Chain A
Amino acid sequence: MANQKYLLVCSGESCDADKNHLLQEALQREVAASGLGATVQVVKTGCFGFCAKGPVVKILPEETLYVEVQPSDAAAIVQEHLVAGKPVARLCYDQQQSKLHAKLEDIDFYQKQVRIVLRNCGVIDPDSIDEYITRDGYVALEKVLFEMTPEDVITELRKSDLRGRGGAGFPTWRKWEFTRQVTNPEKYVMCNADEGDPGAYMDRSTLEGDPHSILEAMMIAGYTCGSSKGIIYIRAEYPLAIARLKRAIRQAKEYGLMGDQVLGTDFCFDIEIRLGAGAFVCGEETALIASTEGSRGMPRPRPPFPAVKGLWDKPTVINNVETYASIPVIIMKGGDWYARIGTETSKGTKVFALTGKVKNSGLIEVPMGTTLREIVFGIGGGIIGGKTFKAVQTGGPSGGLIPEEYLDTPIDYENLSKLGSIVGSGGMIVMDEDDCVLDVTKFYLDFSVDESCGKCAPCRIGGKTLLTLLDRISKGTGTEDDLAHMKQLSVAMQRASLCGLGQTTPNPVLSIIRHFEDELNNHIQDRHCPAGKCTALVRFEIDPEACIGCTVCARRCPVNCIAGDRKLPHVIDQERCVKCGACLEACKFNAVIKS
């Protein structure tokens, strides 16, 4: 129908959190009530990525984007936009507080993005295989099965130069070629959906928004490598993604796109789901295999690589969700097309979860080679509350902090590792002047130590020792010798640890020693934490001149360590103070001083 309109409502977890089903129902009700039911369709879709401004509603074909929409706004959208044909100004995203931006392509957040992995997220209903098929879904599988040999597929991937998006950046075509060459009637294709980086959710949104793309790519891998069995290893913490995958598998089987004799050919393929149980190390491929086999997720030395000896000792291809999601597009548009995007050594696009102290946090997909500045200050809209940028962290617990002076670096695997960080799986966390680099590094180290499986000594003991040293510095009792000791330990861990976890645990530590020496020295020499985060180095005092004795602080103090009579200056007992800062927040007279 010519004047058919669609109201797309995000149903990603971040927006669902905002009780989106109510919004969807309200829109449906309003549409029906206004008699537009025949020409307007309310559709639930996957994540639009603009999570900071959710819930988000998009209207097609005009591509109007409404942000922070409440169920009570449904009437306005239907009456003003659909009936009267005028955009609802107050719901449009207001970028400069002056100009309203109604169209998707006008908004900075989307302008610099190129969506390959996220092509269908926020566009189709993830629960509908028909919508996936309408958007060229399963065309790549058909092309592979009827027009290409396994060698052709590998050639195409080789041309695309796609590198694994799970962290290590290993060329995908090589991994597939190794597995293909091993002769064994039983091989496995696995999808790593364990997404363990705390503070990142790229894979989750892809699985929730476009589950069929992963199934399609795994089947292409199966055909290419000679496997008929796929396994998706997914975190149990992602129930929505699990439910959508299960439904997608069922639908694909009903359509003859999975199971015996796919599309009438001799190719058979089946996919099973296995649940993780909250262990970061299980993202490492050999640990992932151990966990799928039902054991404790402990890594083992490589070689032998999974391509030769993987699940149940059979040749196994393991790829990340995002790697898989890129593959159908590469098959359809060709490897050469894909290789035109990106930098010399890193082709294509990368999805990042942009979070922290940035205005527009959300999920973004940019060509490799985009600079950090374009992401943080362009797409991200800069720092919240006009504060000063301090660092951006990439690669999660295995990555490092990157300071202001390197913001113009184009992102690719090599460039970021030169800066002492990694591209990693796609976490990108922005920090401002209120964040202490030491405190953040302690957070990551604490995480890695907690997640160490304990099998090898360098990781188990080295990580713990690093944490102790760092803790000492944050308490003001560290010395310069401690820094030297930390460097030495870090190098030993990088060289001697059994798996990637221990090898990369020291990365955040090394990155602050390299880029934030001054701030570390503030802690060591001056016993001072410039950001005021390291509580042992912070002191709260009451200025007797400014205090009017209103008693508010004394009543707010959780440990009752503030004494003083009404209308007389109060005093904080430094011995008992837990430095929570409640008094500072409570005081209306600026009498509490933090130093």
Chain B
Amino acid sequence: MKQFSYVRVTSGKAAISELSKDKTAMFLAGGTNLVDLMKSGVTNPERLVDITRVPLATIEATKTGLRIGALAKNTAVAEHPLVLKHFPLLSQALNAGASPQLRNMATVGGNMMQRTRCHYFYDTALPCNKRNPGSGCGAIGGFSRMHAIFGASDKCIAVHPSDMCVALTALDAVITVTGAKGERKISFGEFHRLPGDTPEIDNTLQRGELITAVDIPFNDALQQTHYLKVRDRASYAFALVSAGVALSLKGNNIADVRIAMGGVAHKPWRLKEAEAYLKGKPATEEHFREAARLTMAQAKAEEGNAYKLTLAPNTIVEALKLAAANGNI
């Protein structure tokens, strides 16, 4: 096995200082993504800083929202009574991801930082600008069935694979990170980025920064939720397309709505235009269709993922329908 050093820390401060000792060093949380990447030679850190003992796993209510520690396990979040009560969408999204075994290990911070599942990224014998900048994008003109229809570039068409992040994007979560220069906050929609010319950079976290928490503002009106994940088998598969919806109805009118999608872009894809369109309108299929149509105006596909041009709007419509219906049952 390739040699690397390993250190376990018990405070955020120590984590940051240990990380700074080696420019290849990486935080190790649940390890469900990082260890796989190391085994396949995609990521080759010479130092691992195990942060699992850093006390950042608390889930608690603040005055304005819910604060989830970056080391809270996916399962703990999905099953937490406050999450179930205030943010059922988050629980639904988490439970749609991976398997129970993985969710028992995976952490909130690790989930946000997980890397794309693009086949070309994982296979070191194939070109990939994200893994090896300048080597080309294997997926363009190749097996692109899982790939992006929004915001892709000619350097990279990979998607961010997380389900949890779709819900957090829809729910206007804010991330707290801390580094040598102190703490800063990043709104969820600005955390992940589009590939542009630098697909090797997944997000706006700076080298040396540790994610400590995610805050979700209370918005109890948004109680009607649905996370719809379309995939190749009933469980344990990444999304072809997913849509997370949280809305509130006044009579049959949409009082407020949040929509985000997964499996369509290099980042969780928030549907602000569709939301604005739907606000105040009756919750009818025609309006859902129009909202989807507005969203799709920016979509662009390869041959392999052209079906997403049909699947994505259908998924939006269906998720809206199901969210609108669930409050009525």
Q: Do A and B come from one complex?
A: no
A interface list, Cβ under 8 A from B: none
Task: Please list the residues of chain B having a beta carbon within 8 angstroms of any beta carbon in chain A.
Answer: none
